[in-house]
Amino acid sequence: MSTHVRRREESILPMTIYNTGFLLDRLGQDCHPLQYLRELTQNAIDAVQRTGEGGEVVWDVDWIMYDLDGVRKLCITDTGDGMTGDEMVKFINNLSSSVSAQSLSGAYGVGAKVAAATRNPSGVLYLSWKNSEGALIHLMHEDASGQYGLKQWRHSDGSYAHFLPIADDVRPELIAKHGTKVVLLGESSGADTIKAPPGVASPSRWISKYLNTRYYVFPPRVTVKAREGWEYPRTDTDRNYLRTLTGQKPYLSEHSQSSGKLQLAGAVAHWWILKDEPAITNNSGFVESAGHVAALYKNELYEPATGRAGMAQLQQFGVTFGYRYVVVYVEPAVDGDSLLTTNTSRTALLNDNEPLPWADWAAEFREKLPAELGSLVNQKASAASERDHTKAIRERLKDLLPLYKISRYRPAPGVEIVMDESRLPAASHNSTRQRRQAGGSAGNPTGIAPANVYAVFEKTASAVGKKARQEAFPKVQWVSVKDGTREYGNIEDRAASYLAEQNLLLINADFRVFKDMADHFAQEFRTVPGIGPLATDAVHAWFEQSLVETVVGVQGLVSSREWSQTEINKAISEEALTASVMQRYHTLFAVKRELGSKVGPLRSEAGG
């Protein structure tokens, strides 16, 4: 039986890690596929800053290895303070990190080892110079044991060690007396590790794109570069070159027409309106050049929402039109009452281990929308060429409003909110208990959505209710790629999108169902002059009514015990709204009847 003899001063038996290989593999699964770029870059930046001199960080091909065996290996070189062989063994072969600072310690933290080692089973080479003396270690995965550790080297004198002194023949030109070079070997000796991983954006510039969009700005006196066009000959310096990276801030400053800050509860929102120029498209390969949203913390960007996700996020922030030109970064406030940390993959921020309150920030930003952004939204919205159908639709539906149950219950002391002016039968406390006993899970015994729990404690005395005033009809805006009110990819091949917070219904004028029916009537009445725009307007008006009715009708289900908010959202999703216009029968006859009443006068005017 094994025993552990404790020294008298010991109070506990310290915990140890039984299988570091399993731990690293498990942590590696949580890492973003490109996280090693961030971790190794940050290590290099920290090393340069410790010198107090400024310096460079360069991502490049390891040209020495390429010249020797013809395989491209990705490497990062810095002019930082460097490490001796003993220091590399001590620091790199031990798991350590500085969690409270949310960054790697100067001694190569756990982030680089986990993110880089687990994606390079063949190994990661560290070559470092300090006081003009160089040393090499090889951090690798051993298949037989499943462990990660340092390769053992045999010295020329027959002794063994875990680091190898190296000559200046392999010292990069960038490094004078101190600095470090890290080489990623990949899955095997033949792996091309500078080749972009599958599915990565901008494969020919993937390192530049990732780091520029990961960092808001790099520290002063630290120059970061990345190789692009490595597949071309080194003599082709127009295409095979090192790009100087800047982060997003310098790009946004140069290409914005206006910018500002907006104070939010617990955060500051930084916003930019980009210039309408070719750079929005032309520069997308190495920066995030069009509208997007992200969280900003310590000059790094987290939780980026780009593309369609960015459009949707910006719409929640009140930028319903012109979102292609708007960038918003929200910087959470850091104070002594809360702890701001990151998740394992360093892609998301956590405030006291809770996700960031994006919905709250969006609502406050929307309420305080800066004047410049409001002007942009109005300018882009005014470009729409659609005729306003609101008045006609309201007139047709006014007698049907009671059927939609559009009024809402709102708390009011001593007064019940009801659908009409009649008295509402009072519920007894006993019936409340019966409802609570009748069903529901252990976590929610009432079976009622948490937000509606207090609705069961309705005031027992009968009272005349007061009508809750609410705008039944959503605001409607037809959008189209043709007039610039819709970006390609947004509401693509969908009928409409409903923004609940703004009570705004965006209808896609380019949707093929609408266009097909308009074309049908244009052909049917082809002898009528000017029938094209007339047919399109009539088709849009009746499909708009169908969509408005769907939104208004679904809103009548809100606060129902049988409908959760998630289910409500599904019922007015883009897909559900599209389904609501797929029936044609009634719409077809309504449009035909309307056009029939108009084509007579048109034919008469044409002498038909």
The pLDDT tens digits of the residues spanning 541-555 come to 999 999 999 998 898
| 7 domain residue, yes or no | no
- Name the token pair of 170: 């392999």
* 237 and 222 in a common domain: yes
| Amino acid found at 249 | K
* 78 and 222 in a common domain: yes
E-assigned strand segments in 74-178 = 74-78, 124-130, 133-142, 147-150, 153-154, 160-161, 164-166
* 463 and 476 in a common domain: no
Q: How far apart are CA 462 and CA 286, in angstroms?
A: 67
Q: With 0-12 CB in 10 A as exposed, 13-18 as middle and 19+ as buried, what is 554?
A: buried
Given a cut of 90, is residue 171 above it in pLDDT?
yes
pLDDT band for position 110 (cuts 50, 70, 90): low
Average pLDDT over residues 121-136: 94
| Packed helices 35-51 and 206-214: angle between N→C axes, nearest 10 degrees | 70
- pLDDT at position 472 is 74
* 465 and 475 in a common domain: no
| 480 domain residue, yes or no | yes
Average pLDDT over residues 468-493: 84
Domain of residue 332, CATH code: 3.30.230
Domain of residue 96, CATH code: 3.30.565.10
* 260 and 225 in a common domain: no
Given a cut of 50, is residue 115 above it in pLDDT?
yes
Encode 24-38: b = buried (16+ Cβ within 10 Å), e = exposed.
bbebbeebbebbbbb
Strand 326-332 with 292-297, pairing? parallel
Given a cut of 60, is residue 416 above it in pLDDT?
no
- pLDDT at position 425 is 40
Domain's final residue, options 244, 262, 282: 244
Domain's final residue, options 226, 244, 262: 244
E-assigned strand segments in 555-600 = none
pLDDT band for position 100 (cuts 50, 70, 90): very low
Given a cut of 60, is residue 520 above it in pLDDT?
yes
pLDDT band for position 420 (cuts 50, 70, 90): very low
* 371 and 442 in a common domain: no
Residue with tokens 């309201």: 394
| 477 domain residue, yes or no | yes
- pLDDT at position 441 is 41
Average pLDDT over residues 126-151: 91
pLDDT band for position 250 (cuts 50, 70, 90): very high
- Which of the listed ranges 110-124, 339-353, 574-588 does the model predict with the highest average pLDDT? 574-588
The pLDDT tens digits of the residues spanning 296-353 come to 999 999 999 999 899 889 999 999 899 999 999 999 998 766 788 888 778 889 988 8
Rounded to the nearest integer, the mean pLDDT of the chain is 83
Given a cut of 50, is residue 384 above it in pLDDT?
yes
Q: How far apart are CA 126 and CA 138, in angstroms?
A: 6
> Cβ–Cβ contacts within 10 Å for residue 578, how many?
19
* 57 and 151 in a common domain: yes
Residue 366: which of 499, 240, 565 has the closest Cα? Answer: 499
- Name the token pair of 365: 């930003």
Check residue 588 and report its DSSP letter.
Answer: H
- Better pLDDT: 424 or 134: 134
| 5 domain residue, yes or no | no
The pLDDT tens digits of the residues spanning 205-234 come to 999 999 999 999 999 999 999 999 999 999
Given a cut of 90, is residue 364 above it in pLDDT?
yes
Given a cut of 80, is residue 148 above it in pLDDT?
yes
The pLDDT tens digits of the residues spanning 17-63 come to 777 777 777 777 778 889 999 999 999 999 999 999 999 999 999 99
- pLDDT at position 467 is 44
Average pLDDT over residues 505-521: 93
Longest dimension (CA), the chain: 113
| 4 domain residue, yes or no | no
* 254 and 309 in a common domain: yes
* 32 and 161 in a common domain: yes
Share of the chain above pLDDT 70, in %: 81
- pLDDT at position 601 is 54
Q: How far apart are CA 553 and CA 405, in angstroms?
A: 8
Domain's final residue, options 418, 451, 469: 469
The pLDDT tens digits of the residues spanning 444-461 come to 444 444 333 333 334 444
- pLDDT at position 456 is 38
∠ at Cα 274 (269, 278), nearest 5°? 155
pLDDT band for position 424 (cuts 50, 70, 90): very low
Q: DSSP 3-state assignment of 92? A: helix
Given a cut of 60, is residue 267 above it in pLDDT?
yes
- Which of the listed ranges 86-90, 267-271, 438-442 does the model predict with the highest average pLDDT? 267-271
| 11 domain residue, yes or no | no
| 386 domain residue, yes or no | no
pLDDT band for position 401 (cuts 50, 70, 90): low
| 579 domain residue, yes or no | yes
* 126 and 107 in a common domain: yes
Residue with tokens 């939780």: 303
pLDDT band for position 385 (cuts 50, 70, 90): low
* 217 and 303 in a common domain: no
> Cβ–Cβ contacts within 10 Å for residue 196, how many?
17
* 498 and 461 in a common domain: no
Q: DSSP 3-state assignment of 103? A: strand
Contacts of 465 (CB under 8 A, 6+ apart): 415, 416, 417, 418, 420, 421, 422, 423, 424
- pLDDT at position 118 is 86
Q: How far apart are CA 270 and CA 267, in angstroms?
A: 10
pTM score of the predicted model: 0.75
Share of the chain above pLDDT 90, in %: 52
Query: Per the structure, how many domains does the chain have?
Result: 4
**82: domain range?**
20-244
